[in-house]
């Protein structure tokens, strides 16, 4: 017996937010399988496999810590290595995820041009695929803290809301960019160019307090600043008042998620026309 | 009886970009948007497919039949009207959807199954029979990039039919794979049909449509032209093919018709003896004679022929594009013959002659359809008789 409600009910190009939410819920199984697929495919051919997922951010953090402390003599933070690593954990998750997530819809053309599922699943699967590497890096930060004589207090619990905010911001960014990318293929290059600059206007290797002038303004508008502040407060501490940067992160997150919802509701049913 | 598919006034319009849209150029182009051409791929389709029905859609390339299919699969939304489908849909728009080259066959079954709406558990339950049907036991843990195209297709089809869809959408996929597997696919589709699965099939293969489908929709240039039982629909399709002004669909898509320059007076098939005929023996030399009149002065004229197989497939097209007829004054009578040997298998064929300008962009006239029957050599099958010689070499004593 067939259900009375049609499984495909198309009239006009847009999808209502409620229906999109329902379709996403129904696609949860697909989301899990696609995330797993993404994760496996990425490291399949490498002999060290998933070790690369954490080796890369760790190596990058080590190089940066070394270069900036020995060469550039940034010594603003008392525990510089932990300071950099605590910044690298959210930053590398963010940058890795958005560079793959922004192009996820177009990159999965052989999937999305031949079968329907809510297209938002594709960028969201990238979010989940990178989660493993992220969690391991966070765990390493926590393990390194006692090693570098950084005492962990109850503030460490801030890592949870910090992670949620990070995920939500990354999701908002990926969903918005992936929808725009269908119509403007330049998005791929804009995102990689932006990431190069973005790294230096994010207080990953230096404390936010060191910035001045125009850099200061960019830092204050940067949604990643508030998130990094939360990570530092949770681990090395010494960040100072962070209510404003966190609120700015929150505002960006909500803004991007709203834009993403509007874009996907309006266009996701006709993405396939341009793939 | 309840409907599985309902289309009401459904139409799909595409925007044809000259190139992929770029931020800069599209920003500069805001003022004259009309430059972006808008095309209706298909329009005004009202259709109801009942639960359990086997339905066919036929039409030439670019007639909009595949667009109809993508709307039924929910891949793209209609620009106007509505599309409704009840039940789990398995689109076989292309087999092996979502197969990832680096993943093994087994892993791909999970991905593909999830795309078709199966839960992990349901996939695990069916794994054995999916692998078994595809006949790839030994390769199930090999990455699919090492699969042959046949194995790829078999696995894709196997997953789709094992998803137990209520609606199976098949777009030309059965043209691939080896003969044994095609037979197996037909059997499986028949089985699904008996079990009450609704099947919608898009195909060029009119024989397959005749065998599989009850009712058939004929679409031409995005417009539904005929809806009825398979034999009548196929006849209607032949009618459209023969009355068409756009014969060379592959070459003709960019051509426009310019009337009042050339008028065709007659076109006929002549047998080996030079007399008009409607019946030809395989391999016999025949010719097609065209008489036409130039109504205005024309610099260069190209005459071409297209030959259609019994199922409507164009089997041969040629022209004198390299050596066009030069400088025809108004009132000149043009008579030309195209000679060839009928290297064809048995069946009724049609031929159409066309007269184009030398730049091949403008069609000036088209002949009425010439029909003829070929009695082929009885060992020959397919679309052409290449007159293979099968010789045994003298055995050499070592």
Residue A183: closest C-alpha in chain B: B21
Question: Looking at the domain assignment, is residue A212 inside a domain?
Answer: yes
Q: Is B70 on the interface with A (CB under 8 A)?
A: yes
ipTM field: 0.81
| Distances from the Cα of B172 to the Cα of A266, B3, B88, B213, B220, angstroms | 31, 24, 20, 14, 17
Q: Which residues pair with A100 in a beta bridge?
A: none
Asked whether residue A6 is domain-assigned, the answer is no
**Smallest Cα distance from B167 to chain A, Å:** 11
Helices (H) and strands (E) in chain B, counts: 9, 20
Q: Which residues of chain B neighbour A12 with C-beta distances below 8 Å?
A: 77
The reply to whether A2 falls in a domain is no
Asked, for residue A1, whether it belongs to a domain, the answer is no
Domains: count for chain A = 1
Contact (CB<8Å) A269/B77: yes
Residues B280, B271 contacting (CB under 8 angstroms): yes
pLDDT per residue as tens digits for the range B24-43: 555 555 444 445 677 888 99
Neighbouring C-alpha atoms within 13 Å toward the C-beta of A255: 7
Task: Kindly report the average pLDDT of chain A as a whole number.
Answer: 87
Determine the pLDDT at residue B249. 42
Specify the pLDDT at position B34.
45
Choice between B190 and A262, residue whose per-residue pLDDT is larger: A262
pLDDT, position B23? 52
Pairing of strands B325-328, B256-257: unpaired
What is the distance in angstroms between the Cα of B119 and the nearest Cα belonging to chain A? 6
Q: How many Å from the N-terminal Cα to the C-terminal Cα in chain A?
A: 35
pLDDT, residue A104, reads 93
pLDDT, tens digit, 9 for 90 and up, residues A83-140: 888 898 999 999 999 999 999 999 888 788 878 899 999 999 999 999 988 998 898 8
Q: Rounded distance, CA A103 to CA B207, Å? A: 42
Element containing residue B201 per DSSP (H, E): strand B198-202
Does the pTM exceed 0.90? Answer: no
Domain range enclosing A99: 17-274
Find chain A residues with C-beta within 8 A of B73's C-beta: 8, 114-116
Residue of B89, B163, B168 whose CA lies nearest to B126: B163
Give a yes or no: residue A5 inside a domain: no
Between CA B135 and CA B146, with CA B140 as vertex, the angle to 5 degrees is: 95
Q: What is the SS3 assignment for chain A?
A: CCCCCCCEEEECCCCCHHHHHHHHHHCHHHHHHHHHHHHHHHHCCCCCCCHHHHHHHHHHHHHHHHHHHHHCCCCCCCCHHHHHHHHHHHHHHHHHHHHHHCCHHHHCHHHHCCCCCCCCHHHHHHHHHCHHHHHHHHHHHHHHHHHCCCCCCHHHHHHHHHHHHHHHHHHHHHHHHHHHHHHCCCHHHHHHHHHHHHHHCCCCCCCHHHCCHHHHHHHHHCHHHHHHHHHHHHCCCCCCCCHHHHHHHHHHHHHHHHHHHHHHHHHHHHHHHHC
Which pLDDT does position A121 carry in this prediction? 95
> Which residue ranges of chain B lie beneath pLDDT 70?
1, 16-36, 94-98, 172-179, 242-255, 398
Instruction: Decide if A195 is inside a domain.
Output: yes
What average pLDDT does range A247-253 have in this prediction?
Answer: 96
Question: For helices A243-267 and A213-221, what crossing angle results, to 10°?
Answer: 60
Tell whether B103 lies on the interface with A, counting CB pairs under 8 A. yes
Q: Is A95 among the domain residues?
A: yes
pLDDT number for residue A163: 96
- Range among A63-67, A72-76, A101-105, A137-141 rated most confident: A101-105
Element (H, E) at B293: strand B285-294
* Residue A99, both tokens: 């560079």
pLDDT of residue A38: 85
Residue, of A163 and A29, whose pLDDT is higher: A163
The torsion angles phi and psi of B116, rounded to 5 degrees, stand at -80, 0
C-beta atoms of B86 and A30 within 8 A: no
Interface test with B, best of A2, A25, A46, A129 (most B CBs within 10 A): A2
- Per the domain annotation, does A123 fall within a domain? yes
Interface touch B98/A184, C-beta < 8 Å = no
At A34-49, the pLDDT tens digits run: 898 888 877 776 777 7
Q: What is the pLDDT of residue B200?
A: 93
Cα A156 to the chain's mean position, in Å? Answer: 20
Q: Is A153 helix (H, G, I), strand (E, B) or coil?
A: coil
């Amino acid at each position: 017996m067939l259900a009375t409600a049609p499984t495909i009910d198309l009239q006009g190009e847009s999808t209502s937010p409620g229906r999109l939410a329902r379709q996403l819920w129904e696609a949860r199984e697909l989301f899990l399988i696609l995330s797993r697929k993404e994760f496996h495919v990425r490291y399949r051919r490498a002999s060290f496999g998933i070790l690369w997922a954490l080796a890369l951010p760790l190596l990058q953090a080590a190089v940066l810590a070394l270069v900036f402390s020995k060469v550039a003599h940034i010594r603003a933070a008392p525990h510089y290595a932990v300071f950099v690593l605590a910044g690298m954990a959210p930053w590398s998750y963010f940058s890795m995820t958005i560079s793959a997530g922004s192009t996820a819809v177009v990159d999965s053309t052989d999937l999305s041009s031949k079968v329907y599922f809510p297209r938002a699943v594709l960028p969201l699967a990238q979010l989940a695929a990178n989660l493993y590497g992220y969690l391991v890096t966070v765990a390493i930060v926590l393990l390194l803290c006692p090693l570098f004589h950084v005492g962990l207090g109850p503030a460490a619990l801030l890592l949870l809301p910090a992670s949620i905010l990070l995920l939500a911001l990354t999701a908002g960014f990926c969903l918005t960019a992936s929808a725009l990318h269908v119509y403007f293929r330049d998005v791929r290059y804009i995102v990689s160019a932006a990431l190069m600059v973005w790294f230096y206007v994010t207080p990953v290797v230096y404390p936010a307090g060191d910035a001045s002038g125009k850099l200061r303004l960019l830092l204050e508008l940067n949604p990643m600043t508030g998130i990094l502040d939360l990570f530092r407060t949770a681990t090395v501490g010494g960040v100072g008042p962070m209510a404003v940067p966190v609120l700015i992160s929150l505002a960006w997150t909500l803004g991007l998620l709203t834009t993403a919802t509007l874009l996907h509701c309006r266009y996701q049913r006709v993405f396939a026309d341009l793939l | 009886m309840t409907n599985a598919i309902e289309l009401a006034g459904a139409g799909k319009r595409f925007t044809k970009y000259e190139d992929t849209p770029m931020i800069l150029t599209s920003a500069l182009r805001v003022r004259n948007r009309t430059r972006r051409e808008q095309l209706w791929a298909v329009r005004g389709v009202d259709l109801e497919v009942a639960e359990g029905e086997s339905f066919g859609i036929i039409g030439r390339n670019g007639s909009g039949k595949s667009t109809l299919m993508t709307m039924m699969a929910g891949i793209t939304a209609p620009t106007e009207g509505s599309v409704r489908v009840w039940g789990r849909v398995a689109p076989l728009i292309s087999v092996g959807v979502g197969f990832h080259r680096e993943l093994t066959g087994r892993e791909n079954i999970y991905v593909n199954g999830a795309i078709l709406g199966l839960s992990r558990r349901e996939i695990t339950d069916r794994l054995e029979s999916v692998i078994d049907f595809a006949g790839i036991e030994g390769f199930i843990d090999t990455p699919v990039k090492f699969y042959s195209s046949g194995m790829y297709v078999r696995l894709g089809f196997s997953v789709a039919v094992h998803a137990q869809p209520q609606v199976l959408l098949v777009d030309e996929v059965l043209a691939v794979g080896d003969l044994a597997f095609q037979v197996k696919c037909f059997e499986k589709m028949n089985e699904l049909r008996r079990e009450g699965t609704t099947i919608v099939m898009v195909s060029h293969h009119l024989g397959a449509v005749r065998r599989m489908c009850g009712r058939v929709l004929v679409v031409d240039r995005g417009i539904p032209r005929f809806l009825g039982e398979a034999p009548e629909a196929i006849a209607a399709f032949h009618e459209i093919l023969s009355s068409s002004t756009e014969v060379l669909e592959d070459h003709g898509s960019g051509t426009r018709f310019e009337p009042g320059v050339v008028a065709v007076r007659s076109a006929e098939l002549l047998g080996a003896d030079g007399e008009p005929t409607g019946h030809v023996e395989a391999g016999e030399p025949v010719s097609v004679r065209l008489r036409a009149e130039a109504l205005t002065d024309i610099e260069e004229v190209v005459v071409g022929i297209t030959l259609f197989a019994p199922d409507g497939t164009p089997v041969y097209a040629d022209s004198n594009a390299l050596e066009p007829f030069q400088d025809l004054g108004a009132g000149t009578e043009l008579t030309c013959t195209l000679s060839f040997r009928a290297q064809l298998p048995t069946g009724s064929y049609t031929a159409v002659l066309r007269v184009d300008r030398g730049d091949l962009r403008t069609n000036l006239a088209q002949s009425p359809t010439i029909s003829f029957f070929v009695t082929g050599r009885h060992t020959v099958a397919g679309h052409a008789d290449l007159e293979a010689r099968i010789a045994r070499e003298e055995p050499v004593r070592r």
